[in-house]
Structure 1
Amino acid sequence: MENQHWWSRAVVYQIYPKSFQDSNGDGIGDLPGIIQRLDYLAKLGVDIIWLNPIYASPQVDNGYDISDYHAIDPAFGTMDDFKKLVELAHQKGIKIVMDLVVNHTSDQHNWFIESKRSTNNRYRDFYIWRDADSEHAPNNWGSYFSGSAWQYDPQTKQSYLHLFAPEQPDLNWENSLVRQEVYQMMNWWSELGVDGFRMDVISLISKPAGLPDAPKSDNSQYGNPETMVANGPRVHEFLQEMHQAVMDHHQMVTVGETPGVTTKEAQKYANLNNRELNMVFQFEHMSLDGNPNPQLGKWYDQKVKLSLLRENLSKWQTELAGQAWNSLYWNNHDQPRAVSRFGDDSTETYREKSAKMLATILHFQQGTPYIYEGEEIGMTNYPFQDLSDYNDLESINAYHQLVDQAHLLDGKTMLKYLAFHSRDNARTPMQWDDTTHAGFTTGQPWLPVNPNYSQLNVQQALADPNSIFYYYQRLIQLRHELPVITNGQYALIAGNLEDPDVYAYTRDDGQQKLWIIANFTKQTLQRDFSIPKAATRLISNYDDDQLITLRPYEAKVYQQIY
């Protein structure tokens, strides 16, 4: 099935507003700061900006705890600033996508403040309350952020569900009034000019009837809630209802962050017939480098094997082809920096070559690519040394749970794991130039700037015609120009199925064929993929071509027009 939707040829740029550009010297990025950098994004060539949450929030989870869906957090600016951002972005041909966080609210949201007052309050059923006592939770579910997923309220002698922090109570989507409030809010933002929504953990909104216990890992105190709530019994019904109430009335793009999704489920969420969402964010390739010990989850410091990564990415390419649409990404605000995690940041040469190699592999696949702020200049993980260096609630809680409480790891090992995987790696300020605090702020930044900013910054990238930035710019241009990238059939090149070091695949739409070849190592390799003489080199991260020789982290794409 050929995909003609405009967003299938688009490229998204994700902005973490708190870390992008500060305009007033308070150390926190803001909307006027984003406005200052619109020309930069237009130069890169992106079609869509996705903003992480900018709503009013106590900031317990960096804005994913929303206290007012209709207000801009003062730290980011005003509603007038937001309207100006939308207007100016649209003038440059860039659309704006908002984060939609409706699995839960902040405990400071008026709905929850009212809900907590009494068991017969009209807002009580906006959230998930169950009988309990201070010693016994309603079930064994654990929180994604460690500890129990239940918080006891002694006043009403019940507990409320929070899959994330206790300050993030889960909404009760079984209540039709909750759903109508959400749809009205979405329509309100759409009428302000918002072009779409990225829906946070949207696959978790439908909980199973009776809230049964979840299976536990060996010696684990809590059950894994994702096994119970991901792709819940009514989630597709709810999203189809949302589509009728909101998406049918606006030209917009929607992407669902879907923990626990499978390719089969993705075909329901993001079916090309378009009755739910336009595309999914899935996490399978993000979990391949987790710890072999399931009790430790993602906390580890070993890189993924290419064979596992290639197998997983290929599965999503082939099983969604003609059926549904995927999001393509290496990193975001919840993941460490791609070049440190999947590439090689050990030297300037390897950082540049491996960053371009990773971009090549991703941007020639079928789906909508997402670029996370700083990825286009090859920003790296931060050299964290101590627990006090971290701001991220997930990282801090995990340290205390695994080291101090469960005694599964010693502190030194856990700090190594945090340094590799913590979400704070992605949240350090954008590196604009080599002035104080990398040009991000004139004040004290909310998170420290990576000390490599004096050599690694936007100013330097724009001055170098061979920089990672201009490589990304070219990849975006090619996606806009070549229909084969959107619609071509994906296939691994014969002989690449078991290769431990090279990822090689083709895209073919019957009018032209592309060969995409990438060396994932710092070794020089010899590989002959029998590229036809009629094929020409389309793009590469090396200036010349040595045909069957693959230099360290070399990536190259050949094009044959039939």
Structure 2
Amino acid sequence: MRMTYTSDLWWKNAVVYCLDVETFKDGNGDGIGDFRGLTQEIDYLAGLGITCLWLMPFYPTPNKDDGYDVTDFYSVDPRLGTLGDFVEFMRTAHDRGLRVIADLVVNHTSDQHPWFVESRSGRDSPRRDWYVWSDTPEPNPKEVVFPDKEDSVWEHDPHTGQYYLHTFYRHQPDLNVANPEVRDEIARVLGFWMELGLSGFRVDAVPFLIENVSPELADPHDFLAELRAFMTRRKGGSVLLGEVNLEYDQLLEYFGDGLGDQLTMCFDFVAMQRAWLSLARRDAGPLASALRERPEPPKDCQWAMFLRNHDELTLDKLTEDERQEIFAAFGPDKDMQIFGRGLRRRLPPMFGGDERRIKMAYSLLFSLPGTPVLFYGEEIGLGEDLSAEGRMAVRTPMRWSAEGGFTQAERPVRAMPDGPNVADHRRDNDSLLRWIQLLIERYRESLELAWGDHTVLDAGDPAVLAHRCDADGATIVAVHNLDDRECEAELDLTGLERCVLTDLLVDGTVKVPGSGRVRLPLDPYGCRWLRVSAPEVSPEDASVKAQ
């Protein structure tokens, strides 16, 4: 594969870091994270090596769903600061070379949003059709999204006598994106924040966003194409990162069915879930099969890779037996599980604090084909709070020092778990923080990982995942041992005979024999990134060539 590097494709080898302003750093001492506090830590983020910040919702909200219930798409939650604070944060981020994207939550609003207040004021309201209303509750989908809180997606409104649709919580009525006025308003929201410096958006729950568009009226995917075209006109290189938890054959159409004119990137939920099955079994098979099955996205699109995010660790694409395997390995207690389909735990506690396994898992993440996405605090092994409700268990305050360091207030906005902190990790050259910095540095240096053609290799041992990435005549081979035993990978590197493999994570080299088959020893949970160099030329060969 030939790599074509342009600034408009910056996201191809970006490192995305998701954070919640509310829980990252308190800058005014009221116990709540804010833009002032986040701005104070821009140098920390730049030093970590990440290139793009993804902000969870920071808009005004009643906060019944951690900010995903929005009452004003054109402002900042007063608890988090002002528009002026946001602009200063953007200026500082750009000064350090960081791009910023933000959550686009437009499949619904809060029921306190002025649009919905007007919509429910009467059946003849000018904004009545901005939401989805029905005289009778229509059949529910096969599965309610939050079965612990809701048993229907329709809520009766006694004032008008009709039912409104809410795919998620009843206090989050769905917007009717089939309405051209709603689509125009969403475009204005995008344009507003792009003018303030955003490089794009992470689009929340994309399939739910477009499902209300009737195919008889229009192609539901036209809406995504319209948004992509609007953003490209406003700012070349802007991105739409989509949350699309579907099987590969359904997911491809969200890129634009070969055209690449809809979502720029999609999270790979299939590979993520298979990765956890492989980690639970200590068998690379499930992940290897996902990578072999995964289709190539269109040229100007990319997969986004992750192991954990801000929601539950959903396992809905696995069988019930497979889910139970992962529950048994990483979340055996009922309070660690959620919705019967996932876990509400952060990655380091799931591995029992085994630093070898944790480091291997993040090495795996950064080596897989796609753009890596980290959740804030992963770089220090930030813990969870299982006493918090639901998915809030993983949305804990960032821990900056042994004393906490998140706030000077006596009570932070959320309970802060004891455990690792930034200050201690900075003083330890062998810490997880330093390891993540190294992985990011090597990933950014190794364009083959992001831009190249990827091939899963037979490693000769079920515990080992091996793959190679080729681009412009350059090659990197990545090998990971998912088990706690020493093993040896035997790889067929035909075509690379007598080449030299240079370790990128530790010092050392390996020469590929003339047979093309190389043996690579691996420690328990060992990981190796190997760059291929040209074959060594002996003095005799050089003499013959010169003649």
* TM-score tier after normalising by the smaller chain length: 0.7 to 0.9
- Superposition map of 1:242-257 within 5 A: 242-251=227-236, 252-257=238-243
d(CA) in 2 for partners of 1:3, 1:341: 36
| Conserved? CA contact 2:463–2:483, under 8 Å | yes
Shift of 1:479: 3.0
Kindly provide the amino acid, as one letter, of the partner of residue 144 in structure 1: V
Matched, 1:444 2:411: yes
Number of the residue aligned with 1:138 = 138
Distance 1:328 1:342, change over 3 A: same
- Normalising by structure 2, what TM-score? 0.81
Number of the residue aligned with 1:35 = 39
Matched, 1:464 2:428: yes
Number of the residue aligned with 1:486 = 450
- Superposition map of 1:56-67 within 5 A: 56-67=60-71
Shift of 1:561: 2.3
Alignment partner of 1:86 out of 81, 90, 96: 90
Shift of 1:105: 0.7
Matched, 1:364 2:367: yes
Number of the residue aligned with 2:388 = 390
| Conserved? CA contact 1:19–1:429, under 8 Å | yes
Shift of 1:332: 1.2
Q: Which runs of 5 or more residues in structure 2 are unaligned?
A: 314-329, 331-342, 511-517, 535-547
- Superposition map of 1:96-245 within 5 A: 96-132=100-136, 137-141=137-141, 142-146=143-147, 147-207=151-211, 234-245=219-230
Number of the residue aligned with 1:223 = none
d(CA) in 2 for partners of 1:521, 1:187: 49
d(CA) in 2 for partners of 1:149, 1:89: 40
d(CA) in 2 for partners of 1:358, 1:373: 16
Match of 1:205, SS state, is helix
Number of the residue aligned with 1:221 = none
Distance 1:428 1:186, change over 3 A: same
Kindly provide the amino acid, as one letter, of the partner of residue 516 in structure 1: A
Q: Which runs of 5 or more residues in structure 1 are unaligned?
A: 212-231, 292-300, 396-422
Matched, 1:517 2:479: yes
Kindly provide the amino acid, as one letter, of the partner of residue 422 in structure 2: V
Number of the residue aligned with 2:501 = 536
Shift of 1:8: 0.7
- Superposition map of 1:523-562 within 5 A: 523-529=485-491, 534-540=499-505, 548-562=520-534
Shift of 1:483: 2.5
Distance 1:245 1:511, change over 3 A: closer
| Conserved? CA contact 1:67–1:106, under 8 Å | yes
Moved more, 142-151 or 118-127: 142-151
Deviation by residue 1:471-526 (Cα, 9 ceiling, x = unmatched): 22222223332331222211111245xx5422111112252221111111222223
Distance 1:483 1:74, change over 3 A: same
- Superposition map of 1:329-478 within 5 A: 329-335=306-312, 348=353, 350=354, 352-382=355-385, 384=386, 389-391=387-389, 395=390, 423-435=391-403, 437-451=404-418, 453=419, 456-478=420-442
Moved more, 478-487 or 201-210: 201-210
d(CA) in 1 for partners of 2:410, 2:99: 30
Kindly provide the amino acid, as one letter, of the partner of residue 507 in structure 1: C
| Conserved? CA contact 1:163–1:170, under 8 Å | yes
Distance 1:51 1:341, change over 3 A: closer
Shift of 1:26: 2.8
Distance 1:514 1:12, change over 3 A: same
Match of 2:360, SS state, is helix
Deviation by residue 1:356-387 (Cα, 9 ceiling, x = unmatched): 212222212332111111112233444x3xxx
Number of the residue aligned with 2:245 = 259
Match of 1:280, SS state, is strand
| Conserved? CA contact 1:271–1:278, under 8 Å | no
| Conserved? CA contact 1:288–1:304, under 8 Å | no
Number of the residue aligned with 1:54 = 58
d(CA) in 2 for partners of 1:282, 1:551: 29
d(CA) in 1 for partners of 2:370, 2:351: 30
Number of the residue aligned with 1:506 = 468
d(CA) in 1 for partners of 2:266, 2:110: 25
Match of 1:320, SS state, is coil
Number of the residue aligned with 2:262 = 276
Shift of 1:31: 0.9
Matched, 1:326 2:303: yes
Distance 1:10 1:489, change over 3 A: same
Match of 2:74, SS state, is strand
